[in-house]
């Protein structure tokens, strides 16, 4: 039970997902877990993935396509070929045991030519990649598709996209009991670092929840984030000043 989203922006990439996982044994067990995984190629390039479908299958697939043994000369096209081959072998092994593989993976990275890349690995193992646009997956993907059709543009920047993706997942969670929690990670083309939402951004999303009219509401959300960042900065300054004063008193007592 998932919504997963990857977005290619002009200055980086975004990966977002909810956190609810449902496992069916004798009874259905629901829990909150991380669905976004950050992995690295041997040369330090980051790969960010999120999964939907059978969580156990997804974990096995992610382990198989771990790029940590792949070096600098492996670009996205070569990596796609490796992924499809490894997923096909996993499917064959499961099929021999009468088990249907049903995981879908989305991934995002910066290619060796410094272009943003997003990908969609279907249960059949076929991988589609793009330099712009978005992919969605999971039970709530149709909701996300409807909104992103209107809100996405190739000129979208990371700072806006992460608020849109976070607001979208949060909004879906309010109308779909199978979606809960929210994680969003970004990676810029400039420094290649993977970053999660800041506390100010999370507080802003709670204070100014987006509806589906993102274009009109995004500036209100940006302002809420700025206000929260200012508040958190002030609190940090007060805390630092208090610690310094406390240290000064302790030295005087000595």
Q: Does domain 4-197 have CATH number 3.60.20.10?
A: yes
> Above 90 in pLDDT, residue 228?
yes
Contact indicator for 200, 233 with CB cutoff of 8 Å: no
Give 88-109 pLDDT, tens digit per residue.
888 889 989 999 888 889 999 9
Contact indicator for 79, 70 with CB cutoff of 8 Å: yes
* DSSP reduced 3-state for 72: coil
pLDDT at 216: 77
pLDDT at 20: 81
Q: Rounded to an integer, what distance in angstroms lies between the CA atom of residue 210 and that of residue 204?
A: 10
> At what angle are helices 158-175 and 199-207 packed, to 10 degrees?
50
Count CB-CB contacts under 10 A for residue 161.
26
Instruction: Tell me phi and psi for residue 208, to 5 degrees.
Output: -125, 70
Q: Rounded to an integer, what distance in angstroms lies between the CA atom of residue 58 and that of residue 71?
A: 24
Give 103-129 pLDDT, tens digit per residue.
889 999 998 888 999 999 888 777 889
Query: How many CA atoms does the CB half-sphere of 175 hold within 13 Å?
Result: 12
Which letter, b or e, does each residue of 9-41 get, where b requires 16 or more Cβ atoms within 10 Å of its Cβ? bebbbbbbbbbbbeeeeeeeeeeeeebbbebeb
195 falls in which pLDDT band (50, 70, 90)?
A: very high
């Amino acid at each position: 039970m998932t919504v997963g989203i990857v977005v290619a922006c002009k200055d980086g990439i975004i990966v977002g997902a909810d956190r609810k996982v449902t496992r069916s044994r004798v009874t259905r067990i629901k829990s909150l877990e991380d669905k976004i995984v950050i992995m690295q190629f041997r040369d330090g390039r980051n790969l960010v993935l999120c999964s939907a479908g059978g969580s156990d299958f997804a974990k096995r697939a992610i382990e198989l396509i771990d790029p940590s043994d792949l070096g600098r000369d492996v670009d996205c096209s070569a990596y796609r070929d490796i992924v499809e081959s490894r997923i096909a072998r996993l499917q064959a092994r499961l099929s021999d045991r009468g088990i249907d593989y049903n995981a879908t993976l989305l991934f995002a990275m910066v290619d060796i030519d410094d272009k943003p890349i997003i990908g969609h690995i279907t249960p059949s193992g076929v991988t589609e990649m793009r330099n712009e646009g978005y992919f969605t997956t999971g039970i709530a993907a149709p909701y996300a598709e409807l909104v992103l059709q209107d809100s996405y543009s190739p000129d979208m920047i990371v700072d806006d996209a992460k608020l849109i993706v976070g607001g979208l997942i949060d909004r879906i969670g309010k109308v779909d009991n199978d979606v809960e929690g929210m994680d969003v990670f970004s990676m810029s083309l400039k420094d290649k670092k993977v970053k999660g939402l800041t506390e100010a951004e999370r507080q802003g999303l709670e204070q100014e929840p987006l509806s589906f009219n993102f274009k009109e509401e995004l500036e209100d959300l940006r302002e809420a984030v700025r206000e929260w960042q200012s508040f958190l900065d002030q609190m940090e300054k007060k805390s630092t000043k208090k610690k310094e004063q406390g240290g000064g008193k302790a030295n005087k007592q000595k």
